[in-house]
Homo-oligomer: A and B are copies of this chain.
């Protein structure tokens, strides 16, 4: 086959752009933005009446409200919330800090927030700390300048200055995705130690002994670290059991999973099962196994974390730990709103729990010498991946 020209494409922009001389800086008329005074004048009322008509309609007579709304329409007036916030002494910004957007885990959580907070009239300011405490500190400082009425932080580890600023700002704070005995204020999450413990227990019960924990940038990933602690604690009891930890500095992703698997098998070829810090890594490891002809779970078993969609969909499907991410976001938002309304929070550190979802990438009973046939993966997609019991039944064939 002849070498093809590289399939790179650019539309002919000339054809598209030579429509007119748009796009130079021809924003001519610097028309003043409409203010509440303009509306008041047009409707022949005072500014306060306009303000009321928009914010407390019930306080204004029908006739005037009608006239005012017409004026608003005519002028295309949009209230300046910055000024409004300043005048009323309380803005409506809620600041949210997550480690990264790059990891699909934070997305459902954010969705939970975006479902609720904007609908309640609040504006979300989002920032990413890149897993750095200093990043978080800097964001908190910046965000506080926006006079937020609430803050939502992923994680319970914060620099002292972060804590100091939050304390002084006197703003409701929700810490999320993790559980701590000393929350700053509100705390919604689950215990990562407990996850590690449970998975360790789970693997022991299934007869695994040569066990690996595979992470990525664990120095920064305090939650991954905490799972490791629980994991390691669970395995400590078992005498025959050996735990190795592999940790590298790759940008966490599917491909990294493949790379890490390669390293793991080179360094510790006797490893029977690996618990990965997330499902992307686990999936990457699985794909690499497929390429190398390693049978999963027979030759090598895989456990992921987060129960992302990919875990349920690959073949063999991945055993993982499901967490209530959307729910965490929603609960965080609800609790914050409740606090803003001045309500007393009954239970505070809220444990949203987790579930080990057992799928095909781990054996139900590891038998050291026997060679069980790989399981058929047929019709898995008709099984609702959200129901643990069903999925477990699948394995009971």
Contacts and interface: CB of A to CB of B under 8 A. Distances in A.
A241 interface: no
A59 interface: no
Interface string A144-164: 111100000000000000001
Contacts of A8: 353-355, 388
B82 A19 contact: no
| Copies of the polypeptide in the assembly | 2
Contacts of A259: 381
Interface string A64-78: 000000000000101
Given A82-B86, A118-B127, A258 B313 contact: yes
Contacts of A385: 255
B78 A179 contact: no
A4 B125 contact: no
A24 B344 contact: yes
A389 to B, nearest CB: 6
A392 interface: yes
Interface string A59-96: 00000000000000000101111110110000100000
Interface string A129-148: 00000000000011011110
A207 to B, nearest CB: 12
Closest A-B pairs by Cβ, 3 of them? A23-B348, A81-B145, A11-B191
19 contacts: A1-B365, A7-B388, A10-B351, A11-B191, A11-B353, A13-B349, A17-B349, A22-B182, A33-B147, A78-B141, A78-B169, A80-B86, A81-B145, A82-B85, A82-B86, A86-B86, A253-B309, A283-B313, A310-B310
Given A7-B355, A7-B388, 17 more contacts: A8-B388, A9-B354, A11-B190, A17-B181, A17-B347, A22-B182, A22-B183, A24-B345, A25-B342, A29-B170, A30-B170, A78-B141, A80-B86, A101-B114, A102-B107, A118-B142, A287-B314
